[in-house]
Structure 1
Amino acid sequence: MKADYKNWMPKGMINGFACAAIICWVVFYVINNFGLITVQTIRSVVSVALLVLWVMLLFMTVWMFLMHRAFSYDGKRQMSKQIIEGVSSYVDIPDGGKCLDVGCGSGALSIACAKRNPNAQIIGIDRWGKEYASFSKNLCESNSVAEGVNNTSFQQGDACKLDFADETFDAVTSNYVYHNIPSKDRQAILLETLRTLKKGGTFAIHDIMSKGKYGDMKAFEKKLKDMGYEDVQLIDTTDGKFMSKWESTWMGLSGSTLLVGTK
């Protein structure tokens, strides 16, 4: 049995855009070859609009296909695997301790942390929304079995309002989750996650922490230090650590940053 972590760029999304591009081209062809619109001016305007839409849909389809290929665990690049293993390397949990993985998806990061910390308990939470319909609690559990780990558990949860008391966990982690949550204050979501971390616990949170999505993260770093956090670091992961600058640019991952440290 082999683990199936799916893909951060779902095939369903690619197929949807591809089908839309095909439909757009068919409508364009029919309009221009079967005389459905007899007024030349109107036909020209509609044709141009359809052609522009077709080009956009085709571009998006190709872009998403290339993203899917780069993220694939079975492909040559395996960027997802590189990122997961990289983030998990910062997660240090004492024997008998507990770690929270926010937005666990298919369980990849939870399982990677479980492998590195076999004497700790990893709890993965996710809302498993329709946007990533192939991800589920059952998938996480089956992947854990496939990987031979027995120190993971998974449950539904809300990153914006965690169902855990303050200082519950010895470590918290997350990967590419919070930027997907509609919010005007993602720093507040970070604080909600860090709220559950014990004094002396470690954190490793990776996301697209651009100013447009997160605001001033250098100021947030200082805020955490002023709150008494022992160590706080912002690490750029687009300089060759997890990906190249070029990859981060064309893949829309510019601003990818690791927030790591100790409370």
Structure 2
Amino acid sequence: MKPDYKNWMPKGMIFGGLAITLVFLILFILFGCTGIVGGAWKTVLFIVLLLLTVIAGVITVWMALLYRAFSYDGKRQMSKQIIEGVASYVSVPDGGMILDVGCGSGALAIACAKHNPNAEVIGIDRWGKEYASFSRQLCERNARAEKVNNTKFQHGDAVKLDFDDETFDAVTSNYVYHNIPSRDRQTILLETLRVLKKGGTFALHDIFSKSKYGDMQAFVKKLKDMGYEKVELIDTTDKFMKNWEPVWMELSGSALLVGRK
């Protein structure tokens, strides 16, 4: 039995982009290249529809390339490199507890379980329609395929975690928080840190752009002022991924590592 971790770029998005591109192309041919519309309107439609067709086509190609790059079965296996990179930071005592927020198909939770065979790993996710191919059942099947028996998967919400303060020795997450609709993702990070034990580790990999998270350097300073012993914002472009190309630079993101006294 082989695990199936799916792909971080859903096929549905690629097919949707392809459909939109074809629609714009048909409209471009009908209204920009034939005599259905004449005069100035034809010129305007020619330019506008051509631009829309090109933009939609470029985005579709970009998504297709991402799908290929993130494939677990592909040549580059970026997803596997990222998962293993994040999991390598997580080491807890025997009997410890690890929380993976937004576990998706279970990849990071299972990797952490392998690195910490005597710990309990809980993966939570809301498994929304955006990633319909991901589910709790898929996570459980993947754990069985990897012969991992120290994982548990359940529904959960990163905005309000259903756990007491200082429950976990480590908390992990990968490419999740930037997808959560919020004007203040730093507050969501603080909610995650609430369930971390003193001396624990929070290893988060995400796209830490200013538009998504605000000033992360200021947030790092804020955490240090709050008493967190070690706070690092690590550029993972070269650290986790090999043969990383400039086109993926925004998606490479950074890892936020936090340890508390």
TM-score tier, shorter chain, comes to over 0.9
Aligned to 2:166: 167
Aligned to 1:143: 142
Q: 1:257 aligns with which of 230, 233, 254?
A: 254
Report deviation, 1:163: 0.8
Aligned to 1:69: 68
TM-score by length of 2: 0.93
Aligned to 2:186: 187
Q: Percent identity over the alignment? A: 67
Task: Deviation per CA, 1:23-64: give whole Å up to 9, x if none.
Answer: 221232233566443x33323322322211110111011111
Write the letter of the residue equivalent to 1:250.
Answer: V
Aligned to 1:228: 227
Q: In structure 2, how many angstroms separate the alpha carbons of the residues matched to 1:218 and 1:26? A: 47
1:1-263 to 2 correspondence within 5 Å?
A: 1-31=1-31, 35-37=35-37, 39-238=38-237, 240-243=238-241, 247=245, 249-251=246-248, 253=250, 256-263=253-260
Q: In structure 2, how many angstroms separate the alpha carbons of the residues matched to 1:89 and 1:31? A: 56
Q: In structure 2, how many angstroms separate the alpha carbons of the residues matched to 1:135 and 1:69? A: 18
Structure 1 pair 32–178 and aligned structure 2 pair: CA distance change class (3 A): closer
Q: Which runs of 5+ in 2 are unaligned?
A: none
CA contact (8 A) 1:186 1:214 kept: yes
Structure 1 pair 191–204 and aligned structure 2 pair: CA distance change class (3 A): same
CA contact (8 A) 2:172 2:204 kept: yes
SS class of match (2:7): coil
CA contact (8 A) 2:33 2:46 kept: no
Q: In structure 2, how many angstroms separate the alpha carbons of the residues matched to 1:257 and 1:55? A: 31
Q: How many residue pairs end up in the alignment?
A: 260
Q: Which runs of 5+ in 1 are unaligned?
A: none
CA RMSD of aligned residues (A): 1.9
SS class of match (1:253): helix
TM-score by length of 1: 0.92
SS class of match (2:105): coil
SS class of match (1:230): strand
CA contact (8 A) 1:209 1:255 kept: no
